[in-house]
Amino acid sequence: HSGDASKCPFLSGDQKKTAGRGTNNRDWWPNELKLNILRQHAPKSNPMGEEFDYAKAFNSVDYVALKQDVIDLMTDSQDWWPADYGHYGGLMIRMAWHSAGTYRVGDGRGGAASGNQRFAPLNSWPDNGNLDKARLLLWPVKKKYGNKISWADLMILAGNCALESMGFKTFGFAGGREDVWEPEQDIYWGSETGWLDNDERYDTSDGDLEGHLGAVHMGLIYVNPEGPNGEPDPLKSAHDIRITFGRMAMNDEETVALVAGGHTFGKAHGAADPDKYVGPEPAGAPIEEMSTGWKNTFGTGVLDDTITSGLEGAWTPSPTRWDDEYFDVLLNYDWELTKSPAGAHQWTPTAASNARMAPKAGDPNGKQALMMSTADMALKMDPGFLEISKRFHNDQKAFEDAFARAWYKLTHRDMGPINRYLGPEVPKKELLWQDPIPEVNYNLSDADIASLKKMILASGLSISQLVRTAWASASTFRGSDMRGGANGGRIRLAPQKDWEVNNPSELNNVLNVLEGVQNEFSGTISMADLIVLAGTAGVEEAAKNAGHHINVPFAQGRGDASQEQTDLESFGYLEPLADGFRNYKNSKLKVVAEDVLVDRANLLTLSVPEMTVLVGGLRVLGANYDGSDYGVFTDNVGHLTNDFFSNILDFTYTWSATSNNDTVFEGRDRRTGEVKFKGTRADLIFGSNTELRAVCEVYGANDGQDKFVKDFVDAWTKVMNLDRFDLK
């Protein structure tokens, strides 16, 4: 409803001919590999410079004064966007929730941790209507504290301050979210080309949503408030709510607590027909709107004339106070389907319910009927949700506790381990969803480490086994939500030990041998550390085989988590369905191997050269998950040579597909016709894609070997330490 279709979105005439415009590679060849996602957030777009240390800046903020300023702002109504009921609390909570609510546990992307609501597409999603005003209202505070508080932190803190200023006790707050300075390009939000216009993303065969998506429509945080596809059916809405909240790892109880807790505050805005009165969203608005959008020409355009979602009214009789009214009115009144002044489906108490009223947003003496959306009605009509709603209705303390915990989880879920949390309001208690890891208290000397390496190399394990296992352990890390990695040693535990990509029986053998080393060692070392050290020893040995006597850095200090500290379901989401670095792709996955290789490289925060050098190195070390020879373009497996690069660039070999779906290839010697090498798409892409080929030429050239070894070791060390926030 928020686009102005009469305005042509395309540039005309000479405007089309300026630098950076024109038909580009992506237009000519839409299937081009998306290497751009490996070079986002470059120093060139960050005004803070590489020296800037946000944690240090945040720790220096006067936190008490900052919070008080945010709380004071809640009731300091501004003429240009006056506060409903004189309190911005509802608006600020919605902003915080929409900031956090884009997180999806499937790939860890989205969420509150980057401040991306400042940029398109999020700043212009229909569901984020008028949140541009919320951020503008916060600007004076942001201005006052400058770099000491990021937008990402400030948006969540504002949500907490809103809750507290309306009488709710929150569970805690942690700072530490660092802003991005350009929109992310790696987050797949869906393929639709219109907002809310269809539900193509539902796979009709299993009724589930496509991929990792966490919303039922493009442009939404979760579900359509009016019901699936605008159909006001609370039971169908319940289905959508379960799927989408589940995608964020919220169970039924957390879901009910969040929706009811949130809708205890504020109101919905639908004073009139949006198509008539509401202008384009920020990204589509004219320059003089100064990054804002949804200009509303109905009446005053604010307070009781506001148009946002199109639904109209408050959920409870006192929308600026924490209380038990939401369940009270939802369960005690009967609700009938009506339409808002904007024409949206919503639910109103029946006359027989003799319901209380809410005040008007701009007039404390005015009265307005209460409202429920179809999604709210799901909490009453769905039997599972109803049971929880009733329990919370009868036990306000339980509701309070559940909402406080769920809000804390919602807003902190993508921050990673608790040692990344900053500020005086971090709860001491560690929660299961934070993937706790016990601290270690040993300190191995150089001599200890040297003797451990000797024991590892004498254990009978091959270089391939050592390297593959360390990689398997460390490479679960996701920069998207800072989860996974080698710390915790969870590769020994369910579910990780049983993942196909980890070749369970082979992994089990390797771990048994390493446990033997651990027992034999006179000192103490965690398995988490030992697994990484084993990889390190393997890489050093392989380098030695190739004539390089090097020391691969090893940072001790990883702890071993227990099975009880490992949430099976939540760790299940970390399972790689593809890991091109080990030439693995699950047969269920219907995408080309090179695309998922780049996806994983992005989660590992690798650059294009880092990805390239790692693949080339891992191949000659024989690190494929199943020990296959795909991409092993060398006669000397276990020697850290640049053979992968020199051979993939060598036109002595001619390649052809051996499978009819172009997934496996063989390289023949042109003269003899003899098959020399085999490879997957995750191998051949390095010869085929011109940017990757350009990097391969650096390592494959005659002067490339030394650089290859150095860069491989650097990238290897980076991956082993991705989750070592304690070192940084």
For the chain, counts of helices (H) and of strands (E): 24, 13
Output the residue with the shortest Cβ distance to ligand HEB.
266
User: Are the C-beta atoms of 434 and 203 separated by less than 8 Å?
Assistant: no
- Is position 258 an interface residue for ligand HEB (rule: CB under 6 A)? yes
Distance in Å, CB of 76 to ligand HEB, minimum: 16
- Per CB under 6 A, the list member of 3, 90, 279, 538 interacting with ligand HEB is 90
- Is position 373 an interface residue for ligand HEB (rule: CB under 6 A)? yes
Distance in Å, CB of 666 to ligand HEB, minimum: 52
Site string for ligand HEB, 298-337 (x = CB under 6 A): ----------xx-x--------------------------
Distance in Å, CB of 241 to ligand HEB, minimum: 5
Q: Which is nearer to ligand HEB, 58 or 97 (CB)?
A: 97
Distance in Å, CB of 70 to ligand HEB, minimum: 16
- Is position 168 an interface residue for ligand HEB (rule: CB under 6 A)? no
Dist. CA 61–CA 69, nearest whole Å: 13
Burial class (CB in 10 A: 0-12, 13-18, 19+), 245: buried
Dist. CA 489–CA 332, nearest whole Å: 51
- Is position 469 an interface residue for ligand HEB (rule: CB under 6 A)? no
Q: Which residues of 171-206 are buried (b: 16+ CB within 10 A; e: fewer)?
A: bbbbbbbbbbbebbebbebbeeeebbeebebbeeee
Q: Which is nearer to ligand HEB, 105 or 241 (CB)?
A: 241
- Is position 372 an interface residue for ligand HEB (rule: CB under 6 A)? no
Distance in Å, CB of 308 to ligand HEB, minimum: 3
Q: Return left, alpha or beta for 294; rule: phi > 0 is left, psi -120 to 50 is alpha, else beta.
A: left
Part in contact with ligand HEB (CB under 6 A); list of ranges 83-91, 424-432, 670-678, 707-715: 83-91
Q: Which residues pair with 349 in a beta bridge?
A: 335
- Phi/psi for 421 (5° steps) reads -80, 135
- Is position 375 an interface residue for ligand HEB (rule: CB under 6 A)? yes
Part in contact with ligand HEB (CB under 6 A); list of ranges 7-15, 256-264, 609-617, 694-702: 256-264
Distance in Å, CB of 229 to ligand HEB, minimum: 14
- Residues contacting ligand HEB: total by CB under 6 A: 25
Distance in Å, CB of 223 to ligand HEB, minimum: 5
- Per CB under 6 A, the list member of 214, 227, 262, 580 interacting with ligand HEB is 262
Burial class (CB in 10 A: 0-12, 13-18, 19+), 473: buried
Q: What is the CA radius of gyration of the chain?
A: 28
Distance in Å, CB of 100 to ligand HEB, minimum: 9
Catalytic pick from 98, 269, 412, 548?
Answer: 98
- Per CB under 6 A, the list member of 109, 217, 267, 478 interacting with ligand HEB is 267
Q: Which is nearer to ligand HEB, 126 or 700 (CB)?
A: 126
Distance in Å, CB of 324 to ligand HEB, minimum: 16
Residue 10 Cα distances to 6, 13, 23, 122, 385, angstroms: 12, 10, 13, 21, 47
DSSP H/E element including 364: strand 363-369
- Is position 105 an interface residue for ligand HEB (rule: CB under 6 A)? no
Burial class (CB in 10 A: 0-12, 13-18, 19+), 15: exposed
Residues in 220-239 that interact with ligand HEB by CB under 6 A: 222-223, 225
Q: Is 98 a catalytic residue?
A: yes
Distance in Å, CB of 230 to ligand HEB, minimum: 12
Distance in Å, CB of 348 to ligand HEB, minimum: 15
- Is position 97 an interface residue for ligand HEB (rule: CB under 6 A)? yes
- Is position 93 an interface residue for ligand HEB (rule: CB under 6 A)? yes
User: Are the C-beta atoms of 627 and 619 separated by less than 8 Å?
Assistant: no
Q: Which is nearer to ligand HEB, 268 or 455 (CB)?
A: 268
> What ranges in 477-567 are assigned the alpha helix state H?
504-520, 527-545
- Per CB under 6 A, the list member of 166, 218, 243, 259 interacting with ligand HEB is 259
Dist. CA 318–CA 315, nearest whole Å: 9
User: Are the C-beta atoms of 211 and 188 separated by less than 8 Å?
Assistant: yes
- Is position 261 an interface residue for ligand HEB (rule: CB under 6 A)? yes
- Is position 268 an interface residue for ligand HEB (rule: CB under 6 A)? yes
Q: Which is nearer to ligand HEB, 145 or 407 (CB)?
A: 407
- Per CB under 6 A, the list member of 67, 109, 177, 269 interacting with ligand HEB is 269
Dist. CA 682–CA 688, nearest whole Å: 10
- Is position 256 an interface residue for ligand HEB (rule: CB under 6 A)? no
Q: Which is nearer to ligand HEB, 254 or 435 (CB)?
A: 254
Distance in Å, CB of 392 to ligand HEB, minimum: 14
- Is position 485 an interface residue for ligand HEB (rule: CB under 6 A)? no
User: Are the C-beta atoms of 380 and 349 separated by less than 8 Å?
Assistant: no
User: Are the C-beta atoms of 582 and 624 separated by less than 8 Å?
Assistant: yes
Q: Which is nearer to ligand HEB, 1 or 478 (CB)?
A: 1
- Phi/psi for 679 (5° steps) reads -155, 160
Q: Which is nearer to ligand HEB, 229 or 607 (CB)?
A: 229
End-to-end CA gap in the chain: 46
Q: Which is nearer to ligand HEB, 379 or 543 (CB)?
A: 379
Give the long-range contacts of residues 491-494, CB within 8 A, separation 24 or more.
491/531, 492/527, 492/560, 493/561, 493/562, 493/563, 493/566, 494/563, 494/566, 494/568
Dist. CA 333–CA 316, nearest whole Å: 12
- Is position 345 an interface residue for ligand HEB (rule: CB under 6 A)? no
Part in contact with ligand HEB (CB under 6 A); list of ranges 73-81, 85-93, 419-427, 492-500: 85-93
Q: Which is nearer to ligand HEB, 261 or 535 (CB)?
A: 261
Q: Which is nearer to ligand HEB, 87 or 420 (CB)?
A: 87
- The structure tokens listed for 335 are 């609700």
Parallel, antiparallel or unpaired: strands 578-579 and 584-585: antiparallel
Q: Which is nearer to ligand HEB, 183 or 299 (CB)?
A: 299
Q: Which is nearer to ligand HEB, 158 or 593 (CB)?
A: 158
- Is position 170 an interface residue for ligand HEB (rule: CB under 6 A)? no
Residues in 379-408 that interact with ligand HEB by CB under 6 A: none
Dist. CA 233–CA 224, nearest whole Å: 11
Dist. CA 347–CA 380, nearest whole Å: 12
User: Are the C-beta atoms of 524 and 560 separated by less than 8 Å?
Assistant: no
- Is position 265 an interface residue for ligand HEB (rule: CB under 6 A)? yes
User: Are the C-beta atoms of 309 and 31 separated by less than 8 Å?
Assistant: no
Distance in Å, CB of 359 to ligand HEB, minimum: 13
**At 377, is the secondary structure helix, strand, or coil?**
helix
- Is position 412 an interface residue for ligand HEB (rule: CB under 6 A)? no
Residue 43 Cα distances to 52, 579, 711, angstroms: 11, 28, 20
Residues marked active site are found at: 98
Residues that bind ligand HEB (CB under 6 A): 84, 90-91, 93-94, 97, 222-223, 225, 241, 258-259, 261-263, 265-269, 308-309, 311, 373, 375
